[in-house]
Amino acid sequence: MTDSPTSPAVDLSLYPDGTSLDAAGRLLVGGCAVADVAEKYGTPAYLVDEGALRRTARSYTDAFASRHPDSLVLFASKSFPSASVIGVVSEEGCGVDAAAAGELAMALAAGADPARIVFHGNAKTDDDLLSALTAAVRYVVVDNLDDVERIARLAQEPVPVLLRVSPSLDAKTHTAMMTGHDASKFGIPSDQVADVIRRIRRESMLDLRGLHAHVGSQLLDLDQFEAAVRAVAAFERFGVYDLGGGLGVRYTSADAAPSVEDYADRLVTAVHRHLGADVELMVEPGRSMVARNGITAYRVVTVKRGVRTHVAVDGGMGDNLEVSLYGQAFQPSVVDRSGPAEIVDLVGRHCESGDELAHGVEVVSPRVGDLVTVPVTGAYCYTMSNNYNAALRPPVVFCRDGESRLAVRRETFEDLVRRECLLPGAD
Ligand SMILES: Cc1ncc(COP(=O)(O)O)c(C=O)c1O
């Protein structure tokens, strides 16, 4: 059961840039002791290193602007759809990729400039489109022929649009993260693109400016981005290209991922070679913007030793669906104390056997009440948080220069009950 006498080290390279241990060995994120943040705001909690997030956003905008001045980095807000997070990256020069009316509302609440918002959705309703037209976003991305019909019917003046095309590529990633193949529900299959372009041009209320393509998410091989640019170049040429997001990140010590600089280098070089140096270029990073800048803090609730050692914490698939949805590997740690190592399954508190946060991981032999951190949870965890077992969605705490502040408060049972309309005694 106990596998090694040595205390496993926390791999700080998976944590936000600047994470350290203090003299007492306590983990500091954004200069704040995670233990203090956990004490103050409770667990589970999402911690975001605000300074590290700002640096990532700035490094993204600088990486593209220095290689291609007519570029715009749009934060894919689906990866962390909180107005507080959108506000921070906007302040660092990013625009916003907003899918449907909800993300647009978040972006506008954050003070994002509509002229730097690109509007998405594979099933946009009339209400979604009306919200985008009212806000006067930079581009609406047409995903299907029904978008064409709806925009033509709803618009009062010509709407600048991009057409989402399928680059017909099988991305090397989890099947659920592949979006650029011809069987995908997103975008127009390559053999229909020319027809759809003709169809759009028959509508006076649609002003077709360019093309959009997104291959998939968690891509670790830069060749895929170059292949997407080549595929897009095979269609009619335009002056505007939005090449989506997709850059992958490290989740465990064993992973390797390209840097933002390497990605920008490869992508811009490919754009200049295949599409031209004078195009307006957009990219939509989500995961690579936020993943490493966020961690989740939990407390151990119970330890059950048997055929396997199950360490159950006070969260789980209610705050992290990446594991059950994609089988994503995470590398948790029992922090702030040393001790013998043990191989455990870190499990959640929800009524599913699949409710696991990490399988067969080595941690300091856990005890009830221990603080557990899971790094690289900044992307798509808050996004997919849910109320399984009527659990309360965790707060988001910004940590910066040793100060913590609440960005999103924890849900309350009153929040949950307030939506119920048929309670006894209610009129
Ligand atoms: C159209 C579009 N753009 C951008 C993204 C962000 O991708 P990622 O988080 O992998 O960077 C996605 C996510 O799948 C997407 O569908």
Q: Do 285 and 313 sit in the same domain of this protein?
A: no
Strands 240-242 and 206-212: parallel
Instruction: Give the pLDDT mean for 214-232.
Output: 95
CA distances from 258 to 86, 222, 255, 352, 378 (A): 24, 8, 10, 35, 18
CA–CA distance, 258 with 242 (Å, rounded to integer): 20
CB of 212 closer than 6 angstroms to any ligand 1 atom: no
Count of beta carbons in the 10 Å neighbourhood of residue 256? 7
CA–CA distance, 330 with 377 (Å, rounded to integer): 9
Query: Considering the chain, what percentage of its residues have pLDDT values greater than 90?
Result: 93
The answer on pLDDT for 7 being more than 90 is: no
Tokens of 173: 């990633």
CA neighbor of 53 nearest in space, from 30, 35, 26: 30
Point out the domain boundary residue: 271, 290, 309: 290
Query: What does the pLDDT look like over 69-111, one tens digit per residue?
Result: 999 999 999 999 999 999 999 999 999 999 999 999 999 999 9
Query: What does the pLDDT look like over 262-316, one tens digit per residue?
Result: 999 999 999 999 999 999 999 999 999 999 999 999 999 999 999 999 999 999 9
Q: Do 262 and 236 sit in the same domain of this protein?
A: yes
Index of the ligand 1 atom closest to the CA of residue 244: 3
CB of 180 closer than 6 angstroms to any ligand 1 atom: no
CA–CA distance, 148 with 56 (Å, rounded to integer): 36
Q: Is 426 inside any structural domain?
A: no
Q: What total number of domains does the chain contain?
A: 2
Q: Do 99 and 210 sit in the same domain of this protein?
A: yes
Q: Do 207 and 262 sit in the same domain of this protein?
A: yes
What local confidence, expressed as pLDDT, does residue 176 receive?
66
| DSSP string for 278-336 | TSEEEE--SHHHHGGGEEEEEEEEEEEESSSEEEEES-STTT--HHHHH------EE-S
- CA 28 distance to own-chain centroid: 23
Distance 217 CA to ligand 1 centre (A): 6
What local confidence, expressed as pLDDT, does residue 38 receive?
98
**Does residue 351 have an active-site annotation?**
yes
Q: Is 59 inside any structural domain?
A: no
CA–CA distance, 322 with 79 (Å, rounded to integer): 12
Phi, psi of 178 (to 5 degrees): -90, 125
Query: What does the pLDDT look like over 33-67, one tens digit per residue?
Result: 999 999 999 999 999 999 999 999 999 999 999 99
Question: What residues make up the domain containing 101?
Answer: 68-290
Q: Do 119 and 243 sit in the same domain of this protein?
A: yes
Pocket test for ligand 1, best of 89, 94, 97 (most atoms within 8 A of CB): 97
Identify the CATH number of the domain in which residue 285 sits. Answer: 3.20.20.10
Predicted structure pTM score: 0.96
What local confidence, expressed as pLDDT, does residue 425 receive?
77
Distance 216 CA to ligand 1 centre (A): 7
**Per-residue burial over 19-54, b = 16 or more CB atoms within 10 Å of its CB, e = otherwise:** beeeeeebbbbbbbbbbebbeebbbbbbbbbbbbbb
Cβ–Cβ under 8 Å, residues 64 and 269: no
Q: Do 207 and 244 sit in the same domain of this protein?
A: yes
R_g of the chain computed on alpha carbons: 23
Query: What does the pLDDT look like over 340-392, one tens digit per residue?
Result: 999 999 999 999 999 999 999 999 999 999 999 999 999 999 999 999 999 99
Identify the CATH number of the domain in which residue 353 sits. Answer: 2.40.37.10
